[in-house]
Structure 1
Amino acid sequence: MLIKIYKKDVLHSLLQQEDTDKDKKITIDDQGPKEFKIHTISNEVYTIRGTYHLSNLLQELELAKENQEGIIEISLTEIKQQPSIRISKMIKEHYWDRLTRKLDRSGIEKILSDDKRDIKEKRLYVPFYDKEAYSYYQEVTKEIDHIILETLPEKITPEFVRSINDKPGILGLALTTTNHKKEAVPFLVPGGRFNEMYGWDSYFINIGLLLDARKELSKGMIDNFTYQIKNYGKILNANRSYYLTRTQPPFYTSMVVEYYEKYRDQTPISWLEECVRTAIYEYETVWMQSGKRLASNGLNRFYAEGIGITAEVEEGHYDYILHKYKNNDSQSIEEFRKKYLQREIDSEELDQYFLHDRSVRESGHDTTYRLEGICADLTTVDLNTLVYKYEKDLAYIIKNFFNNVFVYEDRKLRSEYWDDVASKRIALMNQYLWDEETGSYFDYNLLEKKKTHFESATGFYPLWAKICTADQAKSIIAYLLPKLKYKFGITGSSKASLHDVPEDAPQRQWDYPFGWAPHQMIIWKGLLNYGYQDLAEELIYRWLWMITKNAADYNGIIPEKFDVVNGTYKVNVEYGNVGSDFKYVPDGGFGWMNASYQLGLSLLPIEYKYKLNQLVDPDEIFSKINN
């Protein structure tokens, strides 16, 4: 039912009455009466009750465009919509677009701004060989003040990256030609303060885009990754200058396969051929270079090159670590930090710490005590699962779409070749990472020559890539699930794995009690791969219930992460909770959280969707089933 109202009057009255903490949101923390009367232009009166419906009204008022008389038309049906339907619709119709960026005249200034760094000058760096891009960006920026356009050197070294840490900037992305005119290829950002294209975030975002039939945006994400590999040598942690020496967890072939399977009839084979060629190049140059990301045991590790303190972290982030290495008690942490940055203080141990720290950030799991201070010395379960997936994806593509042979640099690579290297990887994973005693996979420490036994959600990754035997899958679930499963999902690590962490040490956001969308999504798919449908549906319901409940109570919020033990987005941990700072309407939610919601709904049976909309507590459902 549609009603016409004066937007300014209704919005002002609603906020005055219901937004008692003056944060431009209506939540359960507000102390208003939670009952508001809407007066229409025809003097009809409608009453809206309850936090959820009142916050929906606030969102609809903000989204509606008023005419010259200040009148808007809003739908009472939208305001009273069931919560899961509304959240999913907001993601599909609003949030993806709010997260979309283009390096064109209308969007470039916003992308060049960087909330992580306090900088006055805005820089855009262009790859050495991309002369067309330089001309395009010259044209785009010629009428915009305070933008500096620079070309990167032909060879990008850690020393060069360090030299421009005080001159950070965005890195150019892919362009396309439409009607003989160059245009920027769109991409999506994670959300909140993150205003650039991130590595593994993009894979999970793309799952949501494919579910919501956002074909061009999904393809744009892949094309931008293709451009990054060709021009920067890798898929970057993110497309900012201080990330040039870091890659991210490899999901490129998964994105390609999932997109092509859905849109094969609308996609030329030449596009797939370019993606395969690019994936092989990345596989061989980024992951299989001996001594770097290819370790001595034949498995892979994260190994992000760089010098000194990372450029993107907030002030004070490393104080706990720097204090441990500071020998002079009369010297402040800030003085020590500056002298170390300027290389007036040499510390091989601290240099080694930051090699590991950068590698943690390359892993995407920044930060966790699983990897703290040792990341570059570990061949991890998650990374080797993902590289195995590349090998199997390439075998699948070549067999099914290229008549079982793909010519790459004068080599004829057949599907059997990729199946063979994948089989060898499984053998190595079972040799170094599989633990017979617990029946689970663990990261392997190359220096100590033993498994770490740190219990992490990444232990479920082999189920996602179908690496395990049925017996292995069963034992992994039996071992890890009781240690990681809580009321609202899977924690990043077990509580027990943190027992050696000092009490005064900072909490790490990828550990207990926090839960993250990519882990949940990988685990759901892994369980379904091995026939554990009931368990997958339970975990999906618990996760979606938490998102739905928080959104209903807190003005539609969809944040970066959750405390899955207590079921809240209010977390006191490093970096806070990105995506929770907004007014009126969530500003795009958060990319992979949006995607987890769309994926979860697509996998949930209709009877659970009904219970979700009634916000039936998960324990009311599953305690009965499990007992």
Structure 2
Amino acid sequence: MKFLLNIDKVFHALLLQEDTDQDRKITKDDKGPKKFVLVDETSKQEVAIIGTYHLSNLLQELAQLKEMNLGMGEVDLSRIQENPVHRISRKIKDDYWEELTRTIDKKGLGQIIEDEKTSSDVATLYVAAKDKQGVAYFQELEKELSNFKVEILPENYSMEYVETLNEKPGILALALEQKTYSLQGVPFVVPGGRFNEMYGWDSYFIGVGLLIDGQVNKAMAIAENFKYQIIHYGKILNANRSYYLTRTQPPLYSSLLIKIAKKKIPSLDWLRSHLETVILEYNTVWMVQGNRLTPTGLNRYKADGIGMPFEVEPGHFDDVLEPYAKKYNLPVREFEKQYLQRTLIDAELDVYFVHDRSMRESGHDTTNRLINRCANLNSVDVNSFLYKYEKDVAYLIKEHFDTAFQVGDVVYTSEEWEQKALSRKNKMNELCWNEASSMYFDYDFVNHEQFPFQAATTFFPLWAGLCDENQAKKLVEVALPQFIKTGGITGSTKASVANASKEAPQRQWDYPFGWAPHQMLLWEGLINYNYLDKAQEMVYRWLWLITKNAVDYNGTIPEKFDLEINSHKVFAEYGNVGTKFDYIAKEGFGWVNASYQYGLQILSEELKEKLGELIFPDTIF
């Protein structure tokens, strides 16, 4: 049934009555009557819209009609009454992915460079010198547009050179492709909110969601941009901003290729070119001794760079800088200024920031697990990812290239990659597995001991298929209960952060916060080892939390949740992206969107139905 309404009139009347806190949303926190009567302009038929969820749906539908500049418009009551599970999933598939899609080309450049991270009237676009096509394209575009300039990155830039770019930070070019009439940017999908660039490990999880929603070409485009970054910037970047040039991200490129290959392989040449790049990344980014490869034979996160990370907000490191400011008898701001300008150098503080940048490379920024020690750790997460790389390369060579794959003069066999994986598995079992705790711990190769911080990364070996049956059983039966809250698993156990400094910020990747990638990797790990009922339970917990939050808070899908209170209202460093919008959530948040679609694929029909009914008690009439 559709009601013809005066859009502006109803929109403002609804807000006046129901948005009592005037945050341009209708949520459970508003104190209105929670009942609004609609009158059809033609038939004069009336219908009462009752309850937070239905009222916020009405607001969203009206907001969409307002954007179309309609004076009179029809509101479909079936959309107001829509099952929340169906509504969230539909909007992710039909709206959110498109809203989050970007290109770096003539058409899409404005959306990229005119964001809150652009600090001057003229934005800078950096292009790699060896991308001859990109240099020519963007230099021509520079002549047409007045609000951006092109800078060419030298082929072999140093850390010192990258530091100089902080005076004129900018976006990094990504891949172009030839279309019928012109060059166009290869699309990518951003996380959302202030994260308006292509992030490394976010893009893998986003790719999983895109494949589920039938957007295979966009998932392949992510792989193309991964390939471009490795070739032109030497690594898959933390994100494509100038100040991330010295940092990579958790290695998930091969996992994306496997997911794509199981859906569709456009050609063997396409797969070959990407497998070559995966092997190139593995050899040059991860397996260089003394950099990210350590004497144990296992890996670590180890970002290059000098001084403080550029991207943090002013004052973020004050608790770290204060003791050093006192040491040099300087006010904190003056010490910070001199340290950033390198007129004052402190070797101990430099080491702290080596660990800090490496922690940011891990994607887990920040956590008490990695602060001031990250570069000393053979972490469970990176070694699980690299084990999966080795297994994936072996699989792709065996299944698609008849067990042998030639790159230049080197012939790789599936068997040698299986041996690499077996060696890593044995080393992880020797150094990282703790039988008494039934968990994997990061190994401190400097101090030759495990660092017994109980983090959700302990479940990554389940996802990678690295555990034996005994280890899997212990992880599921002993370790997992220590992480479970009503809405999923927390980033660490409560015990692990019990002794954290009360003066330090609450670290967002620790207890009590819950993140989509941790849930998704856990679910797949449980399925790998045939813990199917437990997988159903864990999926349900997380989807219940997302759905409940969206129902209570005007469709909000945030970056993360506080699992202690089952809410997006997070009081930790960096706040919570995806919660600031007017009237209608247009994009959700990348990997949470993906987790919803992925979870619905796993969840039984019975639990999907329960999910909709459990938090859908109101009646519309």
1:105 paired to 2:106: yes
Distance change >3 Å, CA 91–CA 7, structure 1 → 2: same
Whichever residue aligns with residue 116 of structure 2, its letter is: D
Match of 1:251 in 2: 252
Once the 2 structures are TM-superposed, how far is the Cα of residue 426 of structure 1 from its aligned partner? 0.6
Once the 2 structures are TM-superposed, how far is the Cα of residue 323 of structure 1 from its aligned partner? 1.1
Whichever residue aligns with residue 332 of structure 1, its letter is: P
Q: For each residue in 1:529-555, what CA deviation from the matched residue of structure 2 results, as whole angstroms up to 9, or x when unmatched?
A: 111111111111111111111100100
Q: Work out the CA distance in 2 between the residues paired with 1:512 and 1:325.
A: 29
Once the 2 structures are TM-superposed, how far is the Cα of residue 34 of structure 1 from its aligned partner? 1.1
Aligned 8 A contact 2:5 2:39 in 1:
yes
Distance change >3 Å, CA 45–CA 420, structure 1 → 2: same
Q: Work out the CA distance in 2 between the residues paired with 1:162 and 1:68.
A: 47
1:607-626 matches, within 5 Å, as 607-615=606-614
Whichever residue aligns with residue 531 of structure 1, its letter is: N
1:533-612 matches, within 5 Å, as 533-612=532-611
* Structure 2 unaligned spans of 5+: 617-621
Q: Which moved more, 1:574-583 or 1:338-347?
A: 338-347
Whichever residue aligns with residue 205 of structure 2, its letter is: F
Once the 2 structures are TM-superposed, how far is the Cα of residue 19 of structure 1 from its aligned partner? 1.3
1:516 paired to 2:515: yes
Q: Work out the CA distance in 2 between the residues paired with 1:69 and 1:513.
A: 45
Q: Which moved more, 1:9-18 or 1:368-377?
A: 9-18
Equivalent position SS for 1:614: helix
Q: Work out the CA distance in 2 between the residues paired with 1:113 and 1:405.
A: 47
Match of 1:622 in 2: none
Match of 2:380 in 1: 381
1:498-509 matches, within 5 Å, as 498-509=497-508
1:80-479 matches, within 5 Å, as 80-116=81-117, 118-264=119-265, 267-328=266-327, 331-479=330-478
Equivalent position SS for 2:150: strand
Distance change >3 Å, CA 469–CA 69, structure 1 → 2: closer
Q: Work out the CA distance in 2 between the residues paired with 1:585 and 1:118.
A: 28
Equivalent position SS for 2:28: coil
Match of 1:40 in 2: 40
Q: Which moved more, 1:109-118 or 1:479-488?
A: 109-118
CA-atom RMSD in angstroms = 1.5
Distance change >3 Å, CA 120–CA 318, structure 1 → 2: farther
Q: For each residue in 1:435-492, what CA deviation from the matched residue of structure 2 results, as whole angstroms up to 9, or x when unmatched?
A: 2322321100011100001100000000001101111111122332122111111010
Q: Work out the CA distance in 2 between the residues paired with 1:371 and 1:479.
A: 24
Q: Work out the CA distance in 2 between the residues paired with 1:57 and 1:430.
A: 55
Distance change >3 Å, CA 26–CA 236, structure 1 → 2: same
Once the 2 structures are TM-superposed, how far is the Cα of residue 44 of structure 1 from its aligned partner? 2.9
Whichever residue aligns with residue 526 of structure 2, its letter is: L
Equivalent position SS for 2:264: helix
Whichever residue aligns with residue 479 of structure 2, its letter is: L
Q: Work out the CA distance in 2 between the residues paired with 1:23 and 1:145.
A: 36
Match of 2:480 in 1: 481
Match of 1:620 in 2: none
Q: Work out the CA distance in 1 between the residues paired with 2:36 and 2:583.
A: 17
1:16 paired to 2:16: yes
Q: For each residue in 1:9-68, what CA deviation from the matched residue of structure 2 results, as whole angstroms up to 9, or x when unmatched?
A: 221211121112222111111121111122333133222111100111111112236777
Q: For each residue in 1:97-136, what CA deviation from the matched residue of structure 2 results, as whole angstroms up to 9, or x when unmatched?
A: 1111111223212211343464443100001111211222
Q: For each residue in 1:244-297, what CA deviation from the matched residue of structure 2 results, as whole angstroms up to 9, or x when unmatched?
A: 000000000100110121013xx1111100000000000000000000000110
Q: Work out the CA distance in 2 between the residues paired with 1:397 and 1:31.
A: 58
Aligned 8 A contact 1:549 1:615 in 2:
no
Equivalent position SS for 1:259: helix
Equivalent position SS for 1:403: coil
Distance change >3 Å, CA 93–CA 287, structure 1 → 2: same
Aligned 8 A contact 1:6 1:40 in 2:
no
Match of 2:619 in 1: none
Q: Which moved more, 1:18-27 or 1:101-110?
A: 101-110
Q: Work out the CA distance in 2 between the residues paired with 1:545 and 1:16.
A: 30
Equivalent position SS for 2:411: strand
Aligned 8 A contact 2:391 2:418 in 1:
yes
Q: Which moved more, 1:527-536 or 1:68-77?
A: 68-77
Once the 2 structures are TM-superposed, how far is the Cα of residue 180 of structure 1 from its aligned partner? 5.0
Distance change >3 Å, CA 167–CA 36, structure 1 → 2: same
Once the 2 structures are TM-superposed, how far is the Cα of residue 326 of structure 1 from its aligned partner? 2.1
Q: For each residue in 1:144-189, what CA deviation from the matched residue of structure 2 results, as whole angstroms up to 9, or x when unmatched?
A: 3221111001112110110111110000001111115211111110
Aligned 8 A contact 1:116 1:312 in 2:
no
Q: Number of aligned residue pairs: give it.
A: 615
Distance change >3 Å, CA 69–CA 395, structure 1 → 2: closer
Q: For each residue in 1:551-589, what CA deviation from the matched residue of structure 2 results, as whole angstroms up to 9, or x when unmatched?
A: 001000000000112101101100100010111111301
Once the 2 structures are TM-superposed, how far is the Cα of residue 69 of structure 1 from its aligned partner? 6.1
Once the 2 structures are TM-superposed, how far is the Cα of residue 330 of structure 1 from its aligned partner? 5.4
Q: Work out the CA distance in 2 between the residues paired with 1:29 and 1:568.
A: 12
Q: Work out the CA distance in 2 between the residues paired with 1:140 and 1:305.
A: 32
Q: What fraction of aligned residue pairs are identical, expressed as a percent?
A: 51
Q: Work out the CA distance in 2 between the residues paired with 1:83 and 1:66.
A: 23
Q: Work out the CA distance in 2 between the residues paired with 1:567 and 1:594.
A: 17
Equivalent position SS for 2:75: strand
Q: For each residue in 1:291-313, what CA deviation from the matched residue of structure 2 results, as whole angstroms up to 9, or x when unmatched?
A: 00001100000000000011100
Q: Work out the CA distance in 2 between the residues paired with 1:478 and 1:345.
A: 52
Aligned 8 A contact 2:7 2:70 in 1:
no
Once the 2 structures are TM-superposed, how far is the Cα of residue 493 of structure 1 from its aligned partner? 0.6
Q: Work out the CA distance in 2 between the residues paired with 1:344 and 1:280.
A: 41
Q: Work out the CA distance in 2 between the residues paired with 1:495 and 1:167.
A: 42
Aligned 8 A contact 1:117 1:312 in 2:
no
Once the 2 structures are TM-superposed, how far is the Cα of residue 138 of structure 1 from its aligned partner? 2.9
Q: Work out the CA distance in 2 between the residues paired with 1:332 and 1:121.
A: 33
Once the 2 structures are TM-superposed, how far is the Cα of residue 328 of structure 1 from its aligned partner? 4.6
Q: Work out the CA distance in 1 between the residues paired with 2:526 and 2:60.
A: 37
Q: Which moved more, 1:525-534 or 1:436-445?
A: 436-445
Q: Work out the CA distance in 2 between the residues paired with 1:362 and 1:237.
A: 6
Q: Which moved more, 1:555-564 or 1:438-447?
A: 438-447
Q: For each residue in 1:189-242, what CA deviation from the matched residue of structure 2 results, as whole angstroms up to 9, or x when unmatched?
A: 001111000000000011110110012211111111111111101000000000
Q: Work out the CA distance in 1 between the residues paired with 2:384 and 2:564.
A: 27
Whichever residue aligns with residue 530 of structure 1, its letter is: Y
Equivalent position SS for 1:86: helix
Q: Work out the CA distance in 2 between the residues paired with 1:156 and 1:303.
A: 18
Q: Work out the CA distance in 1 between the residues paired with 2:69 and 2:456.
A: 54
Whichever residue aligns with residue 402 of structure 1, its letter is: F
Q: For each residue in 1:342-376, what CA deviation from the matched residue of structure 2 results, as whole angstroms up to 9, or x when unmatched?
A: 11221001100110000000000000000000000
Whichever residue aligns with residue 240 of structure 1, its letter is: R
Distance change >3 Å, CA 338–CA 25, structure 1 → 2: same
Q: Which moved more, 1:2-11 or 1:305-314?
A: 2-11
Whichever residue aligns with residue 174 of structure 1, its letter is: A
Match of 1:71 in 2: 72
Q: Work out the CA distance in 1 between the residues paired with 2:143 and 2:52.
A: 48
Distance change >3 Å, CA 608–CA 514, structure 1 → 2: same
Q: Which moved more, 1:161-170 or 1:11-20?
A: 11-20
Whichever residue aligns with residue 85 of structure 1, its letter is: H
